[in-house]
Amino acid sequence: MRYAETGYNLEIDLSRGNIERVETDPRLTELHLGGLGTNSKILWDRVPPDTEPFSPDNLLIFSTGLLCGTPAPGANRTIVTTYSPQTLLMGYSMMGGFWAPELKYAGYDKVIFRGKSPNLVYVWINNDKVEIRDASHLRGKGAVETAELIRQELKESKAQVAAIGLAGENRVYTASIEQGRSSASRLGLGAVMGDKGIKAIVVRGTKDINLARPAEYMELCNEVLKYIKVREEHPVPGVMTILQGLGSPQEMKHVDEEWHTQNFMWGNARTRKKDYWNKEVEQKWKETQEMVRTRLISCYNCPMKCGAIISVPGISTYMMKCFSKLTYTMAAYSDLDFGFRIAQRATEYGVDGFSTPQVMAFAFELKDAGILTDADFAGCPSDNEGKFYWLLDRIVRREGIGDVLANGTYWAAQQIGKGAEEYAHNNIKKHEQLPLKLGMLNPVYFLMYATGEKINITQIEGQFPQSPFPTMEEREAFIKDWIQVPDEKFKQYLLDWELRGERSNPYYPTVDMSVDIVDWQEMMHYIDDALGVCAGLSSFPLKPPYHIHNYPTFISSATGIDMDEAGLKQVYRRNRNLIRAINVRRGLRRVDEKPPEDHWKKRFPELEEKLLDAYYKFKGWNNQGIPTKETLQELELGYIAEDLEQRGIIKNEQG
For 249, 251, 515, the CA distances from 308, given in Å and listed in that order, are 12, 9, 37
Q: Does 612 sit near ligand SF4 (CB under 6 A)?
A: no
Rank residues 236 and 315 by Cβ distance to ligand SF4 and give the closer one.
Answer: 236
Select from 190, 197, 536, 596 the one that contacts ligand SF4 (CB under 6 A). 536
Q: Does 130 sit near ligand SF4 (CB under 6 A)?
A: no
Strands, E assignment, 24-150? 60-64, 78-83, 90-95, 110-114, 121-126, 129-134
Rank residues 120 and 299 by Cβ distance to ligand SF4 and give the closer one.
Answer: 299
Nearest Cα neighbor of 115 from 62, 58, 163 is 58
Stretch of 4-12, 237-245, 379-387, 529-537 lying at the interface with ligand SF4 (CB under 6 A): 529-537
The sign of the CA dihedral 39, 45, 46, 48 is: positive
Closest approach of ligand SF4 to the CB of residue 99, in Å: 12
The vertex-83 CA angle with 575 and 568, nearest 5°, equals 10
Q: Does 221 sit near ligand SF4 (CB under 6 A)?
A: no
Q: Where are the alpha helices (DSSP H) in 532-600?
A: 551-559, 565-585
Rank residues 318 and 377 by Cβ distance to ligand SF4 and give the closer one.
Answer: 318
Strands, E assignment, 398-480? 427-428, 431-432, 438-440
Closest approach of ligand SF4 to the CB of residue 198, in Å: 25
The vertex-371 CA angle with 366 and 374, nearest 5°, equals 85
Q: Does 324 sit near ligand SF4 (CB under 6 A)?
A: no
Q: Does 304 sit near ligand SF4 (CB under 6 A)?
A: yes
Q: Are 619 and 627 in contact (CB under 8 A)?
A: yes
Rank residues 443 and 544 by Cβ distance to ligand SF4 and give the closer one.
Answer: 544
- C-alpha–C-alpha distance, residues 101 and 87, integer Å: 29
Q: Does 74 sit near ligand SF4 (CB under 6 A)?
A: yes
Strands, E assignment, 415-506? 427-428, 431-432, 438-440
Site string for ligand SF4, 345-374 (x = CB under 6 A): ------------------------------
Going by their DSSP bridges, the two strands 8-13 and 18-23 should be labelled as antiparallel
The string of DSSP codes covering 181-248 is S-EE-GGGHHHHHHHTTEEEEEEE-------SSHHHHHHHHHHHHHHHHHHHHSPPTTS-HHHHSSSS
Q: Does 299 sit near ligand SF4 (CB under 6 A)?
A: yes
Site string for ligand SF4, 76-95 (x = CB under 6 A): x-------------------
Stretch of 264-272, 294-302, 340-348, 587-595 lying at the interface with ligand SF4 (CB under 6 A): 294-302
Q: Which residues sit opposite 130 in a β-bridge?
A: 125
For 63, 168, 175, 196, 606, the CA distances from 17, given in Å and listed in that order, are 20, 21, 25, 12, 55
Closest approach of ligand SF4 to the CB of residue 260, in Å: 18
Rank residues 232 and 496 by Cβ distance to ligand SF4 and give the closer one.
Answer: 232
The sign of the CA dihedral 459, 461, 467, 469 is: positive
Closest approach of ligand SF4 to the CB of residue 263, in Å: 23
SS3 307: strand
State the burial class of residue 315 (Cβ atoms within 10 Å of its Cβ: 0-12, 13-18, 19+). middle
Q: Does 306 sit near ligand SF4 (CB under 6 A)?
A: yes
Q: Does 135 sit near ligand SF4 (CB under 6 A)?
A: no
Closest approach of ligand SF4 to the CB of residue 306, in Å: 3
Provide the 8-state DSSP code for 440: E
- C-alpha–C-alpha distance, residues 404 and 406, integer Å: 5
Q: Does 125 sit near ligand SF4 (CB under 6 A)?
A: no
Stretch of 223-231, 272-280, 300-308, 556-564 lying at the interface with ligand SF4 (CB under 6 A): 300-308
Q: Please give the size of the binding site for ligand SF4, defined by CB under 6 A.
A: 14
Strands, E assignment, 363-456? 427-428, 431-432, 438-440
- C-alpha–C-alpha distance, residues 205 and 193, integer Å: 22
Q: Does 298 sit near ligand SF4 (CB under 6 A)?
A: yes
Q: Does 267 sit near ligand SF4 (CB under 6 A)?
A: no
Stretch of 23-31, 531-539, 611-619, 639-647 lying at the interface with ligand SF4 (CB under 6 A): 531-539
Rank residues 192 and 224 by Cβ distance to ligand SF4 and give the closer one.
Answer: 224
Stretch of 413-421, 532-540, 579-587, 633-641 lying at the interface with ligand SF4 (CB under 6 A): 532-540
Stretch of 169-177, 218-226, 534-542, 646-654 lying at the interface with ligand SF4 (CB under 6 A): 534-542
Rank residues 272 and 305 by Cβ distance to ligand SF4 and give the closer one.
Answer: 305
Select from 64, 170, 248, 583 the one that contacts ligand SF4 (CB under 6 A). 248
Select from 33, 120, 302, 412 the one that contacts ligand SF4 (CB under 6 A). 302
Select from 85, 96, 350, 402 the one that contacts ligand SF4 (CB under 6 A). 96
Select from 252, 494, 537, 611 the one that contacts ligand SF4 (CB under 6 A). 537
Closest approach of ligand SF4 to the CB of residue 253, in Å: 11
Rank residues 111 and 308 by Cβ distance to ligand SF4 and give the closer one.
Answer: 308
Instruction: Give every CB contact of residue 414 below 8 A, 6+ residues apart in sequence.
Output: 421
- C-alpha–C-alpha distance, residues 496 and 401, integer Å: 52
Rank residues 91 and 536 by Cβ distance to ligand SF4 and give the closer one.
Answer: 536
Going by their DSSP bridges, the two strands 160-163 and 198-204 should be labelled as antiparallel
Instruction: Give every CB contact of residue 519 below 8 A, 6+ residues apart in sequence.
Output: 618
The vertex-405 CA angle with 400 and 407, nearest 5°, equals 120
What per-residue string of b and e applies to 612-641 under the rule 16 or more CB within 10 Å gives b?
A: bebbbeebbbbebbbbbbebbeebebeebb
Rank residues 35 and 536 by Cβ distance to ligand SF4 and give the closer one.
Answer: 536
The torsion angles phi and psi of 51, rounded to 5 degrees, stand at: -75, 130
Closest approach of ligand SF4 to the CB of residue 452, in Å: 20
State the burial class of residue 137 (Cβ atoms within 10 Å of its Cβ: 0-12, 13-18, 19+). exposed
Q: Does 541 sit near ligand SF4 (CB under 6 A)?
A: no
Site string for ligand SF4, 432-471 (x = CB under 6 A): ----------------------------------------
Rank residues 248 and 344 by Cβ distance to ligand SF4 and give the closer one.
Answer: 248
Rank residues 76 and 327 by Cβ distance to ligand SF4 and give the closer one.
Answer: 76
Going by their DSSP bridges, the two strands 293-297 and 78-83 should be labelled as unpaired
User: HEC states along 83-104?
Assistant: ECCCCCCEEEEEECCCHHHHHH
Select from 42, 405, 416, 534 the one that contacts ligand SF4 (CB under 6 A). 534
Closest approach of ligand SF4 to the CB of residue 299, in Å: 3
Closest approach of ligand SF4 to the CB of residue 472, in Å: 32
Closest approach of ligand SF4 to the CB of residue 181, in Å: 8
Give residues in contact with ligand SF4 (CB under 6 A).
Answer: 74, 76, 96, 247-248, 298-299, 302, 304-306, 534, 536-537
